[in-house]
Amino acid sequence: MRWLALFIAIGLLFDAEAEASNRRVALVIGNASYANAPPLGSPVNDAEDIAAGLAGLGFDVDLRKNTTIDDLRVGLVAFTEKSAAADIAVFYFAGYSAAAGVGSYLIPVDAHLATPESANAETVPLAAVTAAAGRARRLGLVILDAMRENPFPAIPNGRSSSSSLTSAGSTPIRNTLVFFPAEPGRTAEEGEGRNSPFAAALLKYLRQADLEINFVFRNVRDEVRQATHRKQTPYMYGQLSKDKIYLHPVKQVVQDDTAVMQHCDNAVAGLADLRGRADQGETRDNLKAASAVAACAEAVKRWPGADRLHYQLGRSLFAMRDYGGAVASYKAASELGNARALYELGLMYENGNGVEKDPARSRFYYEMAAEKKIAPAFVSLGLQQERGIGAASDPAKAYALYQRAAELGDATAINRMGELAEKGLGARRDLKLARALYQRGAAMGGLEALVNLARCNANGIGGRRDLAAARRLLAKAAQAGSTDARRILAHIEESKPK
């Protein structure tokens, strides 16, 4: 109930119109002296130094050290109000957190976290902080230097990172970034000096002149990886507009050569067309892919802050079977806010292309992409749920995820719904519904749906038997590239009486 009151208070503040100026505000928190957990060494130092650095960049800084739950809530409400009248709003937290990623909870120094229920009342969800920072006109920035080993017995039982990312109505706030000190499943190091490796890198690059915000984070990431011998890789989540943002602008040079961008886009579009054609040899495919790599590498060189170009370079590198290069490009694109790149990273980790197979990490990327309404990400999550990858198989949850993708117009999802309805898994067994779903997916060009609809016609599943229609559907699917349809047609021909 206390958090309900806080959200109501924040909501009321949202209703007040405030003219945003060039004002910069920051709430900086360092929690080290925990009453019911081992004390931490660097958070207060980190907070003091980050606060000083931001103040030097013209920020109105509210520095709070060793905050209780009440201190944290009061500071957040004040920060929310200030953000509404600001151009840029920054929230920095060093200390313990519960869970990880976008589903994190910030832990004040007086927390006990004895049970999940009490933990809800004793922590602050990262979502509330992100909403507060997101009120700023140009940039809301949340920096969470808190992914340390959690020594408390419980974590909040509210929506986890997994559920919040795929729940209805959950969308990222535009022009808001969240920067984590380590990737999912990894912990952040405290370091041996005054500052943590993450805070030390931030202090180095936040104040660097003419460094666009995306490159601040990329430099911080590289610095932390080097300082921790690659044990820790910072991760950025969020989305920005196309406008460049500088924390310390001195001079800004803008290039304009859209022909180079267009050349990259056209080259990659040619690869997409080529994949659907059976009359081209592998040599020509490789030449096309190499040409696309060259075009997109040049475009990235000119516009290193353009997420779409990094994504296109990733696609062309994948076509060249340079999977390591594709992973690097997709990560660069995702850090710049590209949602499709998040989905592609999920596939890379699921299939082990350029990386070790990691179902948990693939699911993380799928969830991030699903939050941004990338339909295939819902399908991949559904397949993992259906097949019991990373958790017990749950066809009902899989069906619900397929429905989300179907609402976004995904033919594969519609076909999967049909297969579950036909088998009675995750939904009531309904052969007519299954056939109708196959028909809907086939009308959208889904090859698997075409084959399933042909099977229904051939066997009278969910409707009348029509062998002629089945053959037409198989021929259509085979012509479009379905190996299953070709195999079935070949078997039919072999089975004919000689």
- Residue from 66, 152, 67, 168 nearest 114 by CA: 152
Q: Which amino acid is at 16?
A: A
**Is residue 304's pLDDT more than 50?**
yes
- Residue length of the chain: 498
CA atoms within 13 A on the CB side of 19: 1
Can you tell me the distance from the alpha carbon of 267 to that of 426, in angstroms, rounded to the nearest whole number? Answer: 42
Its pTM surpasses 0.75: no
Predicted pLDDT at 278: 40
What is the full DSSP assignment across 140-152? Answer: EEEEEE--S---S
Average pLDDT value for residue range 168-174: 48
Q: What is the pLDDT of residue 56?
A: 82
Burial code (b: 16+ CB inside 10 Å, e: under 16) for 136-162 equals bbbbbbbbbbbbbebebebbbebeebb
Percent of the chain, pLDDT > 90?
53
Mean pLDDT of the chain: 84
At residue 170, the pLDDT reads: 42
Angstrom distance (rounded) from CA 29 to CA 46: 9
Number of Cβ within a 10 Å radius of residue 409: 10
**Cβ neighbours of residue 497 closer than 8 Å, sequence gap 6 or more:** none
74: Cβ–Cβ under 8 A, 6 or more apart, which residues?
none
185 SS3 class: coil
Tokens for 473? 């559907």
Can you tell me the mean pLDDT for 26-55? Answer: 93
Q: What's the gap between Cα 137 and its chain centre?
A: 23
Per DSSP, the three-state class of 293 is helix
Least confident span in 82-91, 110-119, 135-144, 372-381: 110-119
pLDDT of 245: 83
Distance CA 380, CA 362 (A): 9
Tokens describing residue 3:
């958090």
| Nearest Cα residue to 89 out of 62, 122, 116 | 62
Biggest CA–CA distance in the chain, Å, is 88
pLDDT of residue 265: 87
